[in-house]
């Protein structure tokens, strides 16, 4: 698949403002991609200064440790690694995520997807401790978003306004909110352009 994308096409994407690629590992969406393709594309985007977004199932935090250690560009773990709130903060996948985030300066985390982490229904408050724990590690490598339009939601469809309110619960400190909502995305996505 990666050979189908030419260098010129990558450059056109770059010229159009694209700064990252996303790989999906989630089982119900196709599962683990070809890791050879992942490694080759990461090598190709590195000189362009792009990053990688990884959409993982919680168990992938266990099985993809080698990949997570070898990625040599900034990478974002989407949806807090889709850990399960019902398994508690002490669950092995979440502890691995905390350790990865603490020890690898290339790792970033999106503290979005509370509806995917939660075992309950709106307002998904059981996801709050997970997001807070990640923010406590390093709020300078945290991103957030509503995940609109919420593809593949099989549980309670979230209300985006309520998710904004939930983020205020996740991050009550206005300075840290500014960092997560403005400063961090500016560094990740627009560092090489005048804003």
CATH of the domain at 102: 3.20.20.140
- Residue 195 confidence (pLDDT): 39
Positions marked active-site: 147
Q: Which of 41, 48, 43, 42 is nearest to 18 (CA)?
A: 48
- Residue 194 confidence (pLDDT): 43
Quick: pLDDT tens for 84-114.
999 999 999 999 999 999 999 999 999 999 9
Scanning the chain, the segments in alpha helix (DSSP H) are: 7-15, 35-45, 60-63, 65-70, 92-103, 114-117, 128-137, 160-170, 174-178, 184-190
Count of domains observed in the chain: 1
Low-confidence ranges of the chain (pLDDT < 50): 194-195
Q: Nearest-5° angle of CA 123, CA 128, CA 131?
A: 135
| Residue 117 near residue 79 (C-beta atoms within 8 A) | yes
- Residue 121 confidence (pLDDT): 81
- Residue 79 confidence (pLDDT): 96
CA–CA separation, 13 vs 22, rounded Å? 14
Residue 172 lies in a domain: yes
- Residue 157 confidence (pLDDT): 85
Residue 195 lies in a domain: no
Range of the domain at 90: 2-190
Q: Which of 156, 83, 58, 77 is nearest to 115 (CA)?
A: 156
Residue 146 lies in a domain: yes
| Residue 23 near residue 54 (C-beta atoms within 8 A) | yes
CA–CA separation, 19 vs 192, rounded Å? 10
């Amino acid at each position: 698949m990666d050979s189908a994308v030419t260098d010129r096409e990558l450059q056109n994407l770059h010229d159009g403002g694209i700064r990252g690629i996303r790989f999906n590992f989630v089982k119900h969406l196709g599962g683990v991609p070809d890791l050879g393709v992942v490694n080759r594309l990461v090598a190709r985007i590195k000189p362009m200064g792009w990053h990688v977004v990884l959409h993982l199932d919680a168990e992938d935090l266990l099985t993809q440790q080698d990949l997570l250690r070898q990625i040599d560009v900034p990478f974002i773990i989407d949806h807090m690694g889709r850990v399960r709130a019902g398994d508690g903060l002490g669950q092995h996948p979440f502890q691995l995520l905390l350790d990865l985030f603490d020890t690898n300066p290339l790792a970033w985390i999106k503290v979005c997807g509370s509806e995917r982490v939660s075992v309950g229904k709106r307002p998904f408050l059981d996801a709050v401790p997970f997001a807070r724990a990640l923010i406590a590690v390093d709020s300078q490598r945290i991103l957030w978003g509503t995940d609109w339009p919420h593809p593949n939601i099989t549980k309670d469809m979230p209300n985006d306004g309520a998710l904004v309110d939930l983020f205020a619960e996740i991050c009550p400190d206005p300075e840290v909110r500014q960092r997560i909502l403005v400063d961090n995305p500016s560094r990740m996505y627009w560092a090489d352009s005048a804003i």
